[in-house]
Amino acid sequence: MTPGELLRRPLPAQTAKLTLGCPILDRLLRGGIPCESITEIVAESGTGKTQLALQLLLAAQLPVSDGGLAAASLYLHSEFPFPFRRIHQLLFHRPRFPHNPLDRIFIEPLHSIDHLFDVLPRLDDIIPKSNIKLIVIDSIAALFRGEFDNNAPELKRRSGLFFKISSKLKFYARKFGLAVVLTNQVTDVMESSDNLRIGNPVSLFTSGRKVCAALGLSWANCVNTRLFMWREEDRVGDENVQTRRFLRVVFAPHLPDSSCEFVIRREGLFGV
């Protein structure tokens, strides 16, 4: 295909987006989580990435007029156990659905990378049959923890698996018009003596630590959008410490680098 042919092609229809369940957060992402691509949520433990993922499972069931996808979700979790208590709590504070929302959340535990590759081929049948429009993997980093040695052949094999996973997920996202959301962990950044920096130069800080997304640069090239959640602790008075949480767009093809504060309440996660 030549550049001229690309210019003559009709513009694609606007990509559907899934609400985050909060107008402030939706405004940050210009409408919500985009379909037909992979969105990654990076955060240290306890910051709220799983809470946001649970909120998206319920938001996907909302009608399109309310920012939802009027569809079911598939939740693949490698962090155990599945937080049933929290999702029931979220349901209690939401308007009544005309159906049981838990019937439209399909849950599959993941034990290893091989297990994920067993699940992925089955999605061709599961997605249309169950009207799934959201796939969540929580978390992708946990599947690779301790699986590979730190040498060149193993790192090359790991990178190959990254691209196989992401290409398959992107294929399903485009074929069925669904949203794919992955959570990822962070690792501490160790500064070298000569200040050498490799890969993405964006500086990320959480809980007073300089961090980067787990799985490295190869994985960063596999996702379309990366969101980063972080925590800051402010001392109030002599003994009290207040924790503040923030959500940032690290990179996205349709969004600038921007951020906003959010809070976690019993009813869910909301922008400030």
In CATH, what number is assigned to the domain containing residue 43? 3.40.50.300
Identify whether the C-beta of residue 67 lies closer than 8 Å to the C-beta of residue 254.
Answer: no
233-to-31, 62, 106, 206 alpha-carbon distances in Å: 29, 35, 36, 9
What is the pLDDT at residue 201? 56
What is the spatial distance between Cα 257 and Cα 5, in angstroms, rounded to a whole number? Answer: 32
Range(s) of the domain holding residue 81: 3-271
pLDDT single digits (tens) 90-126:
998 887 888 899 999 999 999 999 999 999 999 999 9
Domain count, the chain: 1
DSSP label at residue 103? G
Query: Considering only CA atoms, which of 171, 167, 116 is closest in space to residue 144?
Result: 116
Which positions of the chain have pLDDT values less than 70?
1-13, 146, 191-201, 237-238
What is the pLDDT at residue 10? 46
Specify the pTM: 0.90
* Nearest-10 crossing angle of helices 152-176, 123-130: 30
What is the pLDDT at residue 5? 57
